[in-house]
Amino acid sequence: EIVMTQSPGTLSVSPGERATLSCRASQSVRNNIAWYQQKPGQAPRPLIYGASTRATDIPARFSGSGSGTEFTLTISSLQSEDFAVYYCQHYNNWPLTFGGGTKVEI
Amino acid sequence: EVQLVESGGGLLQPGGSLGLSCATSGFTFSRYSMNWVRQAPGKGLEWVSYISTSSTTIYYADSVKGRCTISRDDAKNLLYLQLNSLRDEDTAVYYCARVFYGSASHFDYWGQGALVIVSA
């Protein structure tokens, strides 16, 4: 099973600042990784897939990069609605696994 | 509009059984692979099970293997999850989620979730 490790666990930032979230896979997942945003009481929302492709209706301030085992989600200028928990997920093989999440807080 | 709506959650006894349904609409259900994902209270996301189109391929997480059955009814646009021999650690919100493309891709649509509490 591929272990996805996210860091940091919590990221404290101010509105308008840049946020950089990391995700590391225990073995190569090529570019088969997605990022999701989850707010309290809501289902996860897809942000990025294929490591760097924005999902439908996702603003350009969200970007993804990386391949192999190291991945990054960048939020270029945090808006109030971006404070949430972010998860990475690989879909390179079975079982699919998620990272433990990064909470982005004010 | 794509919609996924889970039902069947509630308070269940340890050792009992769980039956969840996911009603889908707004897309051609038979053309998409589907998954169940769960989230324990205050915890992260855990993939539970996958079913391909035509039910030809099925996978389970080790945590539920041997206790779990995923199935689908393409005529009714429904996805199901049966989980037996329930344990306290099965307490979670259970989401159904659609695979964007093929078998190995991200999950592009999620239901709102069904809360399952396993407690005596």
- Per-residue pLDDT band at B89 (split at 50, 70, 90): very high
Q: Could you give the percent of chain B with pLDDT greater than 90?
A: 95
- Report the alpha-carbon distance of residue A53 to residue B95 in Å, rounded: 24
For residue range A17-62, list pLDDT tens digits in order: 999 999 999 999 999 999 999 999 999 999 999 999 999 999 999 9
Give how far Cα A95 sits from Cα of A22, B48, B83, Å. 21, 9, 18
* Half-sphere exposure at residue A55, Cβ-oriented, CA atoms within 13 angstroms: 19
- Report the alpha-carbon distance of residue A86 to residue A83 in Å, rounded: 9
Min Cα distance A81 → chain B (Å) is 19
- Sign of CA pseudo-dihedral B84, B90, B95, B98: negative
pLDDT of residue A92: 96
Q: Is B27 on the interface with A (CB under 8 A)?
A: no
pLDDT of residue B54: 95
Query: For residue B107, which residues of chain A lie inside 8 Å, CB to CB?
Result: 34, 36, 44, 46, 89
pLDDT beyond 90 at A63? yes
Q: Could you give the percent of chain B with pLDDT greater than 70?
A: 100
